[in-house]
Amino acid sequence: MSLPSYAGPLERTWYYSYRVICGMIFFFLIMPIVVIVPLSFNAEPYFTFTTEMLTLDPDGYSLRWYHEFLTSQEWLNGIKNTFIIAIASTFLATSLGTIAALGLSRPYIPARNALMALLISPMVVPLIISAAGMYFFYSDVGLAQTYPGIILAHTALGTPFVIITVTATLVGFDQTLVRASATCGADPTTTFFKVIMPLIAPGVISGALFAFITSVDEIVIVYFIAGPDQKTVPLKMFSGIREEISPTILAVASILVGISVILLTTLELIRRRNERLRGIVPQ
């Protein structure tokens, strides 16, 4: 929104000061992430900018770390594990979270607030506590150091995000559409897939993307539960920092940043589409 012509000196000062403050905050938050990208093209095995890089000498830049990442069997296994776990846990979290949100949206559900607090508690409880509890429980039932164990653990972390996003979408849902569908003779399954699901799809997709990002980024629970064959990319990065300092980690981090940007852009496009469908015009 532009500054109105009748704004006084104080309003003009605050108008520009506010934008400078926001810019400084954004710079403070984004710089540690942005600086990783050029460092990943360093031709030397350093985590700092070399003289050649600072002088923009082409010899100071190289794709060797990306090549090492894409040709290393350990890193490729980490990618495979990461996406297997993330996709499976996202599917389960989206299914369970959507069902839970639909149930909690019913006005006659007893202790609805208490159930909501219980279901989103994995977002509140510190990860180290959840990881320790899951480790002891999964060790007793034989799920430790297995793919199903990690998938179920990530499902527990991702489900609250789906519940929150789908519940927010259901706030403006017109329940008369469900009754109209039943009046027309549709069974509950047809009503869900033909009436409810198309309207809440933006919330479901947003929750699924959040669950996917959570799974891809998670390291604490994987560190406790995963075995040698279930190492994910974040765990491999953490181990690499502790055992051997290699700029390959920066290349992997840059790729993950790119994936995060793509997913966040997708979320924003879905949000705007949802606003258009609801008839909401951003101010």
Residues 145 and 29 both lie in one domain: no
Residues 182 and 233 both lie in one domain: yes
Give the model confidence (pLDDT) of 260-281 as tens digits: 888 888 877 877 776 676 555 5
Q: 87: domain CATH number?
A: 1.10.3720.10
Q: Is 211 part of a structural domain of the chain?
A: yes
Q: Is 6 part of a structural domain of the chain?
A: no
| Number of domains comprising the chain | 2
Residues 132 and 153 both lie in one domain: yes
The C-alpha atoms of residue 278 and residue 283 are separated, in whole angstroms, by 15
Give the model confidence (pLDDT) of 36-82 as tens digits: 888 888 888 877 788 888 888 888 888 888 888 888 888 888 888 99
pLDDT value, residue 34: 83
The C-alpha atoms of residue 142 and residue 149 are separated, in whole angstroms, by 9
Enclosing domain of residue 42: 24-62
Evaluate if residue 283 carries a pLDDT over 50. Answer: no
Give the model confidence (pLDDT) of 127-175 as tens digits: 888 888 888 998 888 888 889 999 999 999 999 999 988 888 887 777 7
Q: Which amino acid is at 114?
A: A
Q: Kindly write down the DSSP assignment for every residue of 237-263, as one continuous string.
A: HHHHHHH---THHHHHHHHHHHHHHHH
pTM greater than 0.95 (yes/no): no
Residues 29 and 154 both lie in one domain: no
Q: Is 12 part of a structural domain of the chain?
A: no
Q: Is 196 part of a structural domain of the chain?
A: yes
Give the model confidence (pLDDT) of 224-259 as tens digits: 888 888 888 888 888 777 766 778 888 888 888 888
Give the model confidence (pLDDT) of 190-228 as tens digits: 888 888 888 788 888 888 988 998 898 888 888 888 888
